[in-house]
Amino acid sequence: MSDFSLEALLDSRRGEDLDLWADTINPQFVRVLRTIGFDRTWARAEGAYLYDTHGTRYLDLLGGFGMYGVGRNNPRIRAALVEALTLETPGMLALGATLLPGLLAEELIGLAGGRIERCLFTNSGTESVESAIKLGRTATGRQRVLSADHGFHGLTLGATSVNGNWEFKARFQPLLPGCDQVPFGDLEALEVELRREDVALFLVEPVQGKGINLPPDGYLAGAQELCRRYGTLFGVDEVMTGLGRTGRMFAFQHWGLEPDLVTLAKTLSGGYVPSGALLMARSVHEAVFDSMSHAMSHGSTFAPNELAMAAGLATLHELREECLVDESARLGRRLLELTRPLVDEFEVVRDVRGLGLAWAIEFGEPQGGRMTYRMIERAQRGLFAQLVIVPLFTKRRILTQVAGHEMAVIRILPPLVVTDEDVEEFADALRATVRDAQRMPKSLTKFALTAASAGVRR
């Protein structure tokens, strides 16, 4: 019998990464990567840096859509995982209880405070959202679920039903009945719906990931109050914003909120193991798990996963020991200080916004109108943003992303371990890249139109 060696296997197939993905996983995705020049072959990663097979360093400001809060390949999370494997912990018992999940649940509940007294573990963000919808409806005996326009909550069927972006939903109809969206920031519109007293749950991202939209003053507190008044559960989706991203452990703590439901994932297991959680008020949990025969009403074979729990505990320890939540707040302020001036420097920059290390820049047609800008935006809305992220990556070696469909917005969700120098490097590179893109040289325009015809949207 031959030994299995991951290293030998990888060595024997080096360089096949993109072709193999195209053959077996998703050819259209590989086509997108090739069109926009993101088709590198990656060798390794550390903290906020990725290295390609030539040894070139890239600054990763996307952090795996925000899941590498404690940095890629964090050695202390890795050590905890190795320790868990070495200890030969009992793993998932199915019919039995082990210590690690209880320890992580206890910590998360303590950090969330307020009404939160129970934790249900899942394997991803979208599963946490599914759980919120399902348990929220059963706990209240109501069917409708409200969410916000432009909200993003994941891509399984229930989560897609509460998605506030039509492009994610159009091709997958019919979705779950009774799921409607209201404009983000509009309390009157919310009250019109809640007044019917048939809404189980209002689910909202404290800061919207698609576009990094910040809530208007008083909005979230007002929404919570309306939910209480009309017997609706108030749920905050903290999959992206949770665990330090916005400069507080949970984003809802910026506004002193006391939600009934909180969804978590991404940073929760340090980026190593799929993991998520739904934190909830005791009343919600007890309304669903209300008897021994209902003790297993909801759950999943893999959750709580023992390695995810070990990584989760180590991640919370890391956030605390390295003061990463405070760092996120500090570096977020520095980032705004360095990038807000771009609004005055460039006609094409409409807005720069952020909270902690969730940051975005928005573009708009320059005053007086520019033919090329209009032509590019007519080919595909938001395409100008591609003209910035592509050279940021190919020339400046910085990974960022367009913040959503048909949005001229770029966002970053960097690992919270980025340094002042990283932030400064990004601000300088952004300024130079926006300056070039605003001039719209022919080569860039040509690239943009090719990308548009290839249907590059994300």
Q: What is the DSSP letter of 2?
A: P
- The reply on whether position 212 binds ligand PLP by CB under 6 A is no
Helix H or strand E segment including 263: strand 261-264
Tokens, residue 248: 């507080």
Least spacing, CB of residue 87 vs ligand PLP, in Å:
27
DSSP letter at 256 equals: T
What is the rounded distance in angstroms from the CA atom of residue 433 to the CA atom of residue 55?
24
Which of 240, 324, 410, 423 touches ligand PLP (CB under 6 A)?
A: 240
Q: Does 125 bind ligand PLP (CB under 6 A)?
A: yes
Q: How many Å apart are CA 129 and CA 235, to the nearest integer?
A: 10
Nearer to ligand PLP by Cβ, of 130 and 318: the residue is 130
> Interface with ligand PLP includes 126 (CB under 6 A)?
yes
Q: Which of 35, 74, 124, 165 binds ligand PLP (CB under 6 A)?
A: 124
As a dihedral over the C-alpha atoms of residue 169, residue 175, residue 180, residue 182, rounded to 10 degrees, the angle is -10
Contact residue for ligand PLP among 63, 69, 154, 211 (CB under 6 A)? 154
Closest residue to bound ligand PLP by CB: 125
Among 129, 187, 335, 429, binds ligand PLP (CB under 6 A): 129
Contact range with ligand PLP by CB under 6 A, out of 150-158, 224-232, 372-380, 436-444: 150-158
By CB under 6 A, the count of residues binding ligand PLP is 14
**Cα end-to-end span (Å), the chain:** 46
CB of 205 to ligand PLP, least distance (A): 5
How far, in whole angstroms, is CA 327 from its chain's centroid? 19
Closest CA to 68 of 334, 318, 385, 371: 318
Residues 49-68 that bind ligand PLP (CB under 6 A): 65
CA–CA gap between residue 218 and residue 255 (Å, rounded): 8
Q: For ligand PLP, which residue of 144, 153, 396, 397 counts as binding (CB under 6 A)? A: 153
Contact 410, 343 (CB under 8 A): no
The H or E element spanning position 167 is: helix 166-169
**Binding of ligand PLP by 152 (CB under 6 A):** yes
- Per CB under 6 A, the segment of 44-52, 147-155, 211-219, 450-458 that binds ligand PLP is 147-155
DSSP-assigned states of every residue in 378-402: HHSTTHHHHHHHHHHHHTT-EE-EE
Candidates 102-110, 237-245, 354-362, 441-449: pick the segment binding ligand PLP (CB under 6 A): 237-245
| Residues within the interface to ligand PLP (CB under 6 A) | 65, 124-126, 129, 152-154, 205, 209, 237, 239-240, 265
